[in-house]
Amino acid sequence: MGPHYYEVNLGWQYARLGQLSAPGLTDTIDVAIPPEFPKGMPDVWSPEHLLVAAVVGCFMTTFLAVAENSKLDFDDFDCSAIGKLERVDNRLQITDVALTPKLLLTDESDLEKAQQVLQKTQKECLITNSIRAQVTIQPTIRFAVKAYD
């Protein structure tokens, strides 16, 4: 596979607020400094949020592909992510991203397969492989309640 390119444009709006857009996408995203920093803006996506969102979004899309290729049947999937920002060597960086995927399986016999799919997902996620932050997963796997006649 050859290289792919993803163009994103940023237009400054006012103060510390910008607006992200991309060719071919209709929605825009406002982006600003988070409120923890001087002149930060509440209620607006920050670059820090977007980085963590990229990790969790990539985890989900990779999971869906790996699950499909592995023929893993499931009823539901969702995932939360928390990124840790701290000072390292006098520089701020996201050092850790903790993912908590929740998977609802249709069949208890798929537990081992589901664990393997989650591990492969973590290994194959291209965003995780592109950043320095350590990405960890703490999955919860539940089973759908079967209705009996």
- On whether the CB atoms of residues 135 and 97 are closer than 8 A, the answer is yes
* Residue 91 tokens, joined: 């520089």
C-alpha distances out from residue 97 to 11, 30, 73, 109, 138, Å: 28, 22, 27, 30, 11
Per-residue pLDDT tens digits for 37-65:
999 999 999 999 999 999 999 999 999 99
Tell me, what's the pLDDT at 72? Answer: 97
Q: What is the model's pTM? A: 0.93
What's the rounded mean pLDDT across residues 88-111? 96
pLDDT higher than threshold 60 for residue 149: no
Query: Percent of the chain beyond pLDDT 70?
Result: 98
**In this structure, how many other beta carbons lie within 10 angstroms of the beta carbon of residue 111?**
13
pLDDT interval class at 117 (50, 70, 90): very high
